[in-house]
Structure 1
Amino acid sequence: MRLMQIETEAGKRAVVATVGERSVIVPGYDTVYEIAKAAIAAKTGIEALVNSSISGVSETVDRAALLASGRVLAPIDHPDPAHLLITGTGLTHLGSASARDAMHKTVAAAEETLTDSMKMFRMGLEGGKPAAGQTGVQPEWFYKGDGALLVGPEKPLTAPSFAQDGGEEPEIAGIYIVGDDGQPYRIGFSLANEFSDHIMERVNYLYLAHSKLRPCSVGPELLIGALPDDVRGRSKVIRDGKAIFDEPFLSGEANMSHTLANLEHHHFKYDFFRRPGQVHVHTYGTATLSVAAGIKTEPGDVFEIEAEAFGLPLRNALAFAPAEDVKVIQL
């Protein structure tokens, strides 16, 4: 099952559920947030709740047409954007077979020759997939922003005027909600473009925090249920209608150095990430970047990320905000 949030022709909110080849509007709910809260209250899974709601619905909708119309929204949001947090982890993916071999050779080198990033990657290789009941090594972690920075499909990803780069990061995001008792629940998974400034980051890895304070796009659809162990998709950068970058990206635990459970544990172990009603968009990382292939993105370039398990592709154009003269005023 996949869920998608849309705006109807009447300007109202609605949720579309896709089961197999059938896509219908879910009656009784305007948002995925409402569905998740209802599932928690009913002590049932989202799939069971939605299947029950749509059992008598016969009228279908065209998801591709909705996407083309610009009426598809991000597949999750919060009534108060300040209570949606966007975060992520890095150095979690093994990459292609050739890249994986190169990484293993590098991390086998003498300790004193390793960069801090490679040391972190090696820690994940050695301790990111602990045995059942045990806690693994914590991953690299970063904060991106709140719900105000969440961008829907087909909407521009806007870098600040001072950005040195606007680069895509094709990833899978886990979508979570915290119940009234402080218990985190996973709603599902979505494609994500964890948009970053890679040139700034390369100046010094301590600039990573700055480089991540950017918008993030997710969607169009939210996968309900387990994440496939081996996710295979493509990441493209399209300029003037032609792909200047087109490479496969891999995700899922078969292509990662950490289990999802380990990443989730090290995020939600902090009690301030377990405040009732919070929504979390947590990106899991990637090993495919156009900047690594020497691509310099330009305003108007379109990022396209797709993977079969997630239905429709996620597309966003690159834009840059105008310069601002920001000053602090003494009170």
Structure 2
Amino acid sequence: MRLIQCEHRGRVHAARVESDRVVRLLDADTYTLARRALTAGQSLAAAVEAALTDTRLDYPQLIEEKRLLPPLTHPDPAHCLITGTGLTHLGSADTRDTMHAKAQVDDAALTDSMRMFKLGVEGGKPVPGETGAQPEWFYKGDGSCVVAPEAAIPVPHFAEDAGEEPELAGLYVIDDDGQPWRVGYALGNEFSDHVTERFNYLWLAHSKLRACSFGPELLVGELPTHLEGTSRVVRDNETVWEKPFLTGEANMAHSLANLEHHHFKYPNFRRPGDVHVHFFGTATLSFADGIQTRDGDRFEISLPEFGRPLRNPLRFESVSRVTVVKAL
């Protein structure tokens, strides 16, 4: 089952994807449906079935009219936390390593990236019930940094780079007892400033404080262990870069359960009622192939299992100003 969210007659509604042209409206948004399911002790799929209406909408028209929304949102963006993990995919460490260090010839001289990657390979998939190696972790912002599918991703005036990061995202709701529940998965563009990160790895935190996007569709149910997608950069309606990418647990150094444990082990990430969007890491970057994005470029990320591709153009901000703090 795949869901979207859209604006319909001034309200946010979830809708079930019937085909690539038709969605069937539900009587509430995804967050409300998840809360209903938790209260009733039922699955989200059951809650969706009970919430179906007779209204069907034209999917391409929703896209054309820019009425698509992220597939899970919180009524208060401050209660939606956007985070992620890196160096989780087999092969991703090579890309990261070339960004900020030369190749090392002996184990003692491994970069921090390669050392972190090895920890994942050696201990990122523990047996159920045991704790594995903790991954790299970062914070992106709250729900206000999320850009809807088809909407423009803003590039701040101080940014050194504007690069896509195609990956999976886990979407979660915390129940009233502080228990995290996975609502489903979405295709994501985590989006980062790779030049800032390359200058000094300690600027990773700065490089991640950018906008992001995920969707347009939410996959409810089991995630295939092997997924093959395509990431591309389109400029003036021509593809200037395209590359396949692999994801899913079969192509990762960490299990999803291990990544989830190391995020939700912190009590402040189990606050009742909150929504979490957690990016699971990437293995493919146009930046690694020397692509420099421009204003108006469009990212397109696709995985067949997730329906329609995630598409976002870039909008470079030109205003440069110093933020001044005033004393009370």
Band of TM-score, shorter chain = over 0.9
Distance 1:224 1:323 in 2: 42
The one-letter amino acid of 2:42's match is T
How much has 1:159 moved relative to structure 2? Answer: 1.6
TM-score (norm 2): 0.93
Instruction: Give 1:328's aligned residue.
Output: 325
- Confirm or deny that 1:255 pairs with 2:251: yes
SS of 2:35 mapped into structure 1: helix
How much has 1:58 moved relative to structure 2? Answer: 4.6
Distance 2:19 2:152 in 1: 30
TM-score (norm 1): 0.92
- Confirm or deny that 1:16 pairs with 2:34: no
Change (3 A) 1:95 1:66: farther
4+ residue runs of structure 1 moved beyond 4 angstroms?
19-22, 106-109
The sequence identity of aligned pairs, in percent, is: 53
Alignment deviations for residues 244-295 of structure 1 (CA, whole Å, 9 cap, x no partner): 1110111100110000000000000000000001100000000100000110
The one-letter amino acid of 1:326's match is T
The one-letter amino acid of 1:129's match is K
Alignment deviations for residues 17-39 of structure 1 (CA, whole Å, 9 cap, x no partner): 12577631113x1x111001001
Instruction: Give 1:231's aligned residue.
Output: 227
List alignment gaps of at least 5 residues for structure 2. Answer: none
Instruction: Give 1:188's aligned residue.
Output: 184
- Confirm or deny that 1:4 pairs with 2:7: no
Distance 1:41 1:218 in 2: 27
| 1:112-191 map, 5 Å | 112-191=108-187
How much has 1:199 moved relative to structure 2? Answer: 0.4
SS of 1:232 mapped into structure 2: strand
How much has 1:297 moved relative to structure 2? Answer: 0.6
CA contact (8 A) 1:129 1:262 kept: yes
How much has 1:222 moved relative to structure 2? Answer: 0.6
CA contact (8 A) 2:189 2:214 kept: yes
Distance 1:81 1:138 in 2: 28
Distance 2:315 2:51 in 1: 40
Distance 1:245 1:311 in 2: 22
List alignment gaps of at least 5 residues for structure 1. Answer: none
- Confirm or deny that 1:46 pairs with 2:41: no
How much has 1:149 moved relative to structure 2? Answer: 0.5
CA contact (8 A) 1:193 1:216 kept: yes
CA contact (8 A) 1:107 1:118 kept: no
Distance 1:95 1:230 in 2: 15
SS of 2:69 mapped into structure 1: coil
The one-letter amino acid of 2:12's match is R
Distance 2:77 2:297 in 1: 28
Instruction: Give 1:33's aligned residue.
Output: 31
How much has 1:163 moved relative to structure 2? Answer: 0.4
Q: How many equivalent pairs are there?
A: 320
